[in-house]
Amino acid sequence: MKKRKAFIIAFILPCVLSLLIMYLYPIVRTVIMSFFGIESVTSDISEWSFNGIDNYIKLFESPTFQRAMTNMLLIWLVGGIIVLAFALLFAVILTSGIRFKKFFRAAIYLPNIISAVALATMWIQYIYNQDYGMLNQILEALGLEGKRWLGTDMKFWSMLVAFSFGAVGYYMLIFISGIERIPEDLYEAATIDGANKIQQFGSLTLPLLRGIFKTNITFWSVNCITFFLWSKMFSPISTETSTIVPVVYLYDIVFGTQGNAQRDAGAGAAVGVTLAVFVAIIYFVMNKLLKDDDLEF
């Protein structure tokens, strides 16, 4: 018996140690750091100065952070509605028995295979460019005046549209996996009862996709708080308020910005904790609103 327990412990120990060292320790250290003033991430603990909740107070009083949070919430809400609505629409169409569904599925998912840097560059150079971009070419062909899609007043929404375009395919596949789990017998019974396609979608498909919606919303929330690359691609030289998001704000205050060498890793840790709390709130709210994880027939 003792040999068996030792054998089990020997197998479990590497996994437990990896979890503690690579997951639990960084979380605990980040939470502790958020209450201290720290010049650099690599600063010795003896150089930390206790600030209490001052990091959080200054954080939420900062106009830049407030704008960053506003941008992130707009991406989460507006972008989430656009992405999940189109993802669900395409998923329903591609599971309805149309021809060439494998081709369309691959075509819609294709932007997820392309590097995000390459995808953002294509949108900036070939879609939004004021001189030869596709959008202005179309407007000019219709006799309309081209727009500055990358101007200050339009840049955020241009970035959001480009990001949403690349995200639809990923969530579409998750919706497809949920729809394909619904037995055909249910749809056949609904058809016999006289329900049309729209009624079947509202009364059958949507209720049975509650768990899938929760999964997609959680993934989308995580995707929004890690919205770093797209913001940097649309503001490559210096951070602009029109495209700033919390992770970019975190990067700037931890590593400094152009013309501002002042750094504060403690405040950066406070940003990270705040974003983690945001995702946790979304997750628990989704658990309350969408309680049925598994399909029940």
Q: What is the pLDDT of residues 171-217, one digit of tens each?
A: 999 999 888 888 888 877 878 877 777 887 888 888 888 888 988 99
pLDDT of residue 36: 87
Instruction: Count other C-beta atoms under 10 Å from residue 240's C-beta.
Output: 15
- Cα–Cα distance, 265 to 271 (Å, whole number): 10
Burial class of 59 by CB neighbour count within 10 A (0 to 12, 13 to 18, 19+): buried
pLDDT of residue 15: 85
Tokens representing residue 17 in the block: 């140690």
Burial class of 112 by CB neighbour count within 10 A (0 to 12, 13 to 18, 19+): middle
Mean pLDDT over each residue of the chain, to the nearest integer: 85
CB contact at 8 A, 232 and 247: no
pTM of the model: 0.84
pLDDT of residue 297: 43
Mean local confidence (pLDDT), 238-249: 87
Q: What is the pLDDT of residues 51-66, one digit of tens each?
A: 888 889 988 888 989 9
Q: Hey, what domains does the chain have and what are their CATH numbers?
A: 53-289 (1.10.3720.10)
